[in-house]
Structure 1
Amino acid sequence: MLLRLRPALTLVGVAATLALVSGCGSADDWSRPHARPSAVGTLAEGFTDPASPPRPESTITPRPGSWDGVHPSEDYRVVLLTAGDDEATGTLVDAVRRWADDEEVSLKTVTATDPHHYVDKIDRAIKMAPDLIVTAGNDLVDPLAMVSASHLDQPFLVVGAELAEPTHNVTAADWTGASFRGEGLGASSTYDPASFTAERAMDAVRAGVAAVLSGVTGIVIWLD
């Protein structure tokens, strides 16, 4: 009787294996090629001045909501790179995750906990070949400044902080109360963790991603 059951049990095992394999081919499988990302929609009037495009490393103050009409194309792949367990960083992380859920993008998270391995974590995020790396946490600013210039084909978005001298592939979304710059400059005298509200963080993510998708990069987007 047992011998007769074995083929059936084998078939069940094969079916289960095939189900697991097919599950690996889901939308989260980044090994598959995908189309180059693009902006769905356009920036509204007031985001930038078309007659005077922002220069590299400059700061712009877009009209509130002028980024709302821009969304990522299908299968947009984002790595959230985060360090720090403070409340401000947690608010930024929550905003990135809510944005990703709203926009139905594929989001993976890399968490850096050891300062000695921050650069390694950035390298790991780059090797995942995402369309965009979003960083949350002041501790990542200096390590990012060390790495980003060597990977000019990888777009980065820094939310709630900025690099002192960003290359064209690093865009930041910042505001009074945030504005950590690293390189020994640290936080400004106006740094205020209470300014990291859920609404402000979400605006920073949406405005920053809209700028990157629209090719307005290498600048600081000031949200005041």
Structure 2
Amino acid sequence: MRPPLRAVAMLAATAALVTACNAGDDWSQPHPAPSAIGTLGPGFVDPSTKPAPEATITPQPGSWAGVHPPKDYRVVLLTAGDDKPTTSLVAAVKDWADDEDVALRTITVGTAKDAVPSIVKAMEMGPDLIVTAGNDLIDALAMVTPNHLDEKFLVVGAELAEPTHNVTAVDWSGASFRGEGLGMSSTYDAGSFTAERCAAAIRAGVAAVLNDLTGIVVWLDQPPRG
């Protein structure tokens, strides 16, 4: 499958803008599997039971604060749209990367037809994690992610209707866009994408991924829904 992926990725180069926080980083060099620094706090998840696939967990606020990525954790931020919620998420991811000494590269998707090639481009870069921001990416992610189960994805501010084990989402009642023709949630609120909420989304999501709590939705509302 690799040759076709490379061919599609070449097309993506003209459709997406790629930037890097550390342009000199060479991701082609050997890289140890990342592991979390620190531990999850009480209330993030029941330590005696791992969440079932596609489950929703509602961690206690701040229970993720003690978990950090290793230095030079390789992350590609894949973003689509210039609406306020998306730009707020992008700003939060970039601030987190600066704070945590993460090796961050960004792909900005131009149009809907560029979404799939851009996801392929992100995978070809060889990151530890692909973080996505923007509702316009959800349908493309639903198409691509089940066929690349070795790639880890973190969706912030939205979720996939039927995620596979490699896709983790961080969501809340003011976000919760799921794509696939389901339309916008009746509780959608662009004003809920505050700087504080977006910062919590990236940190809680990465904490889950680094602790192998993947294929689930991390729900940031309190109290728990339902």
TM-score, normalised with respect to structure 1: 0.87
Please say if residues 180 and 187 of structure 1, whose CA atoms lie closer than 8 Å, have aligned partners that are also in contact: yes
Structure-2 separation of matches of 1:55 and 1:84: 32
C-alpha RMSD of the superposition: 1.2
Q: Structure 1: which amino acid aligns with 2:131?
A: V
SS in 1 for 2:155: strand
Structure 2: gaps (5+ residues): 1-21, 222-226
Please say if residues 34 and 75 of structure 1, whose CA atoms lie closer than 8 Å, have aligned partners that are also in contact: no
The equivalent residue for 1:72 is 69
- Quick one: structure 1 residues 186 and 26, their matched pair in 2 at CA, closer, same or farther if it must change by over 3 Å? closer
The equivalent residue for 2:204 is 207
Please say if residues 134 and 158 of structure 1, whose CA atoms lie closer than 8 Å, have aligned partners that are also in contact: yes
The equivalent residue for 1:120 is 117
The equivalent residue for 2:55 is 58
Higher helix fraction (1 or 2): 1
Give, in angstroms, the shift of residue 186 of structure 1. Answer: 2.2
Structure-2 separation of matches of 1:116 and 1:50: 42
Q: Structure 2: which amino acid aligns with 1:80?
A: L
The equivalent residue for 2:148 is 151
The equivalent residue for 1:43 is 40
Q: Indicate which of 190, 193, 196 corresponds to 2:190.
A: 193
Higher Rg of the two aligned structures: 1
Give, in angstroms, the shift of residue 29 of structure 1. Answer: 1.6
Structure 1: gaps (5+ residues): 1-24
The equivalent residue for 1:81 is 78
Q: Structure 1: which amino acid aligns with 2:203?
A: R
Please say if residues 161 and 181 of structure 1, whose CA atoms lie closer than 8 Å, have aligned partners that are also in contact: yes
Equivalent residues, number: 200
TM-score, normalised with respect to structure 2: 0.86
Structure-2 separation of matches of 1:142 and 1:44: 33
SS in 2 for 1:108: strand
Q: Percent identity?
A: 68
The equivalent residue for 1:134 is 131
